[in-house]
Amino acid sequence: MTSNTYTLQILAGDGIGSEIMGEAKKIIGWINSNSDITINTRDGLIGGASIDTYGNPLDDTTLEQCRNADAILLGAVGGTKWGDIEYNLRPEAGLLKLRKELELFANLRPALVFDALIDASTLKPEIVRGLDILIVRELTGGVYFGEPRGIEDLGNGQRRGINTQVYTTMEIERVARVAFDLARKRGNKVTSCEKANVMESGLLWREDVTALHEKEFKDVELEHMYADNCAMQLLRNPSQFDVIVTDNLFGDILSDAAAMLTGSLGMLPSASLGQVGSVALYEPVHGSAPDIAGLGKANPLATILSLAMCLRYSLDQGVMADKIEQAVKAVLNSGTRTADIMADNCRQVSTSDMGDAIIAELDK
Ligand code: IPM
Ligand code: MG
């Protein structure tokens, strides 16, 4: 085995997961045949697919395989079929368990506007042209995992729903460090978002980010912003942002808003990283889209771009990552589109045709 040989754990998941993953596998096949990189793939189940087979959304054997892989590529989880199950056994719980068990605390969600897709945005072209934002979302803490949680019976016909927002200095510092490091390689600016005006955990967030900045990252521009203002500013003037760092819940919401600026959720990849050198997870930002599953309509580009992120961040194969991203740009420029990004004078293609178009471009 050469150092260019890797094991990639594949978790296609539910809904459109298997279709989009099929296209990512075509690209992996191309890489294996046309470069000195060898990516051995291994398939596993997560989400509803795992519930149907193992009775739980992430089985221990699958988790162990994930731990031992060089990286993980995931499709999507969830579907109405599993909607009535209790929280800790739902498809989404498999994904949350994977994030938590592997300590994937930094979720990178780039929102990038491709020139060819500028008209797909619901915002005016002059507002979104050239947009390139990176949201760094804390992924293993906050209200998603805080205790106590639950629904209590108050006995008088009333109930109480409880979740806890909690952050420690260690959790805040490690995700902020990722954001500052990445900013240095980009626009050198970090906007840190919380609600320090109403939440103690937000105040701690602000103080810890400020202290870390003072200590290690004075060369990076730091700005603090309340999360609600950030949502507003994303729509008003998104170009003011470079890197946004925020907690788990605000990051969930702000990253959906940022994604929509680009016009297509079907285009956006993400990376979930843990400590340097540990296994990382790559997945499209979009969900399992059960309404179009099996119809050949899904856009595989977010998954293919997630594979590119995987090559760059986990496998240290930046040149191949660039090549794939360039191929995606070229295919979009040529007017080849899946239904979600279809526009006038373009050619609408299926999921599988889109994968083939990327391969044809890579072959050039
Ligand atoms: C996301 C999703 C997940 C989340 C769901 C599927 C649990 O919305 O990755 O943004 O809330 O984190
Ligand atoms: Mg979300």
Q: What is the pLDDT of residue 83?
A: 86
Q: Which domains does the chain have, with CATH numbers?
A: 1-105+269-364 (3.40.718.10), 132-261 (3.40.718.10)
When mean pLDDT is compared across 7-11, 68-72, 127-131, the lowest value belongs to 127-131
Instruction: Mention every residue, 6+ apart, whose C-beta is less than 8 A from residue 12.
Output: 18, 20, 21, 43, 49, 74, 75
Which of the residues 228, 313, 323, 329 is marked catalytic? 228
Pairwise CA distance, residues 223 & 237, whole Å:
15
Cα 34 to averaged position of ligand 2 atoms, centre (Å)? 36
Which ligand lies nearest the alpha carbon of 247? 1
pLDDT digits (tens, 9 = 90+) for 38-60: 999 999 999 999 999 999 999 99
Pairwise CA distance, residues 56 & 51, whole Å:
4
217 band by pLDDT with thresholds 50, 70 and 90: very high
Cα 252 to averaged position of ligand 1 atoms, centre (Å)? 7
What is the three-class DSSP state of 39? strand
Indicate if 340 belongs to the active site.
Answer: no
- The mean pLDDT value of the chain amounts to 96
pTM score, two decimals?
0.93
Q: Which residues of 128-141 are buried (b: 16+ CB within 10 A; e: fewer)?
A: beebebbbbbbbbb
1 band by pLDDT with thresholds 50, 70 and 90: very low
Residue nearest ligand 1's atom 2 by CA: 252
Residue nearest ligand 1's atom 5 by CA: 92
Interstrand relation of 281-284 and 269-273 (parallel, antiparallel or unpaired): antiparallel
pLDDT digits (tens, 9 = 90+) for 88-137: 899 999 999 999 999 999 999 999 999 999 988 889 999 999 999 999 99
Q: What is the pLDDT of residue 2?
A: 55
Percent of residues, the chain, with pLDDT higher than 90? 91
How far is residue 250 from each of residues 96, 144, 169, 298, measured CA to CA in Å? 16, 11, 18, 27
